[in-house]
Amino acid sequence: MNALQRIAHIAYKEALELWRHAGIVAFVLAIPVVEVIILGYATSGGVNNLPAAVYDADRTAASRRLVDAIDQSHGFKVTQFAGNMAQAEHLLDAGAISAFFVIPQGFERGLTGQGKTDVAAVIDGSNTAVANYTTIYAEEVVGHFTAQNLGGPNLKPQTQETQGVLVGAEPRVWYNQELRRENFYIPGLVGTMLALVVLAITAVSIVRERERGTLEQVMVSPTRSWELIAGKLAPIVVIAYFELAAMLVITMRLFNVPVKGSLGLYLGLMAVYLLAEMGVGILISTLSSNQAQALPSIFLLVTVYGILAGFMTPVETMPPAAQWAAALIPLRYFITITREIFAKGAGLPALAPQLWPLMGMSAALFTASILMLRRRLV
């Protein structure tokens, strides 16, 4: 029996073993799919129509037009009108609004260069995610209104002396023109959930054999250690690709997240990522005495993985220590590869900065895991 036949024989036995525990495998596979659906819906709503109040101290035609502009914008819905600053502050303290606008007295005159035009936007910063959107929306709606109404047809035109030089910025968004949050979160979620599946099945598969004592028997047989590992991991690779296919269908069909790049390239690079994660799974199995120890370790590790790998927050915005830690996590590179292929249609040359570290990490983790497993069994 040659090496390929021995690997095929071990893979067949492992597939039968997984089939005997089909209920557990199905449960493990269902968790990522359900999480992608739930978190996908949770992140797809967007941050729009935030409740806002207005304190209009000017009470002119121009200030009323600004109030209408705020109310008709996609970011805000004017739900309250405050009679003074104290009332506006009370509404913010009570959580009834996300922000309030203060239109100062003399606002209309300021548009003609004869007074003060600064509009204050007081924002609830207790929820930083919402506060960031609120700040952007406030600057957008007030800036757009002011630019359109400075020296407008219903107002006294500004002279060159009073107008000064106005420099405007025209933002242009590439790759995600609608700024859909799901286009950022869901590709990261796919990689994170894939890590959960691969780590769990790999670690439990090895630990189960050690609990039964069959792994030691195989290790002293003519079968080489790399043949054993290859045979046991082959069915897991097939399962991982089926899991990815299910998550891709949900991503593309249910949430309309586009995949602009090559799916073939993505599936090929996934093999490199799987090698790294299976190496981590084997390492966990060598440090765990039984399945009850392995599974909690995996769930804890995946939680840390998701945080440091940039699933929710870009790695570039993290503190230096966290960025150093993220550089040691395979998922960090795979998430970036996923987003680059999905959003930008990136090819192999553009992905090289992520691929080279991932390849090196995969080789190192897989080699170290096999050596540790052999040492543990000797």
CATH number at residue 111: 3.40.1710.10
Q: Is 175 a member of any domain?
A: no
pLDDT digits (tens, 9 = 90+) for 283-325: 888 888 777 788 888 888 888 888 889 887 788 878 889 999 9
CA 348 to chain centre: 22
Q: Tell me: do 147 and 91 sit in the same domain.
A: yes
Helices (H) and strands (E) in the chain — how many of each? 15, 4
pLDDT at residue 248 greater than cutoff 60? yes
pLDDT digits (tens, 9 = 90+) for 12-37: 777 777 677 666 667 667 877 887 88
Average pLDDT over the chain, rounded to whole? Answer: 80
Whether residue 290 contacts residue 208, with contact meaning beta carbons closer than 8 Å, is answered with no
Q: Tell me: do 72 and 28 sit in the same domain.
A: no
Q: Tell me: do 205 and 327 sit in the same domain.
A: yes
The count of structural domains within the chain is 2
Q: Is 173 a member of any domain?
A: no
- Tell me, what DSSP letter sits at residue 113? T
pLDDT of residue 55: 93
Distance CA 347, CA 354 (A): 12
Q: Is 172 a member of any domain?
A: no
Domain with 117 in it = 50-163
Q: Tell me: do 81 and 54 sit in the same domain.
A: yes
- Percent of the chain surpassing pLDDT 90: 24
Angle (nearest 5°) at CA 340 between 336 and 345:
160
Q: Tell me: do 235 and 323 sit in the same domain.
A: yes
pLDDT at residue 167 greater than cutoff 50? no
Q: Is 169 a member of any domain?
A: no
* Residue among 324, 317, 296, 186 at smallest CA distance from 248: 186
Distance CA 320, CA 340 (A): 23
Q: Tell me: do 270 and 221 sit in the same domain.
A: yes
Q: Tell me: do 286 and 332 sit in the same domain.
A: yes
E strand map for the chain = 50-56, 76-81, 99-103, 120-123
Who has greater pLDDT, 156 or 79? 79
Q: Tell me: do 115 and 262 sit in the same domain.
A: no
Q: Is 174 a member of any domain?
A: no
pLDDT at residue 236 greater than cutoff 60? yes
The last residue of one of the domains, among 99, 132, 163, is: 163
Provide the 3-class DSSP secondary structure of residue 100: strand
Q: Tell me: do 155 and 269 sit in the same domain.
A: no
Q: Is 224 a member of any domain?
A: yes
Q: Tell me: do 336 and 190 sit in the same domain.
A: yes
Q: Tell me: do 259 and 222 sit in the same domain.
A: yes
Q: Is 249 a member of any domain?
A: yes
pLDDT at residue 200 greater than cutoff 60? yes
Output the six-digit token pair for 112.
């003609």
- Percent of the chain surpassing pLDDT 70: 81
Q: Is 93 a member of any domain?
A: yes
Q: Tell me: do 10 and 54 sit in the same domain.
A: no
pLDDT at residue 158 greater than cutoff 70? no
CA 291 to chain centre: 30
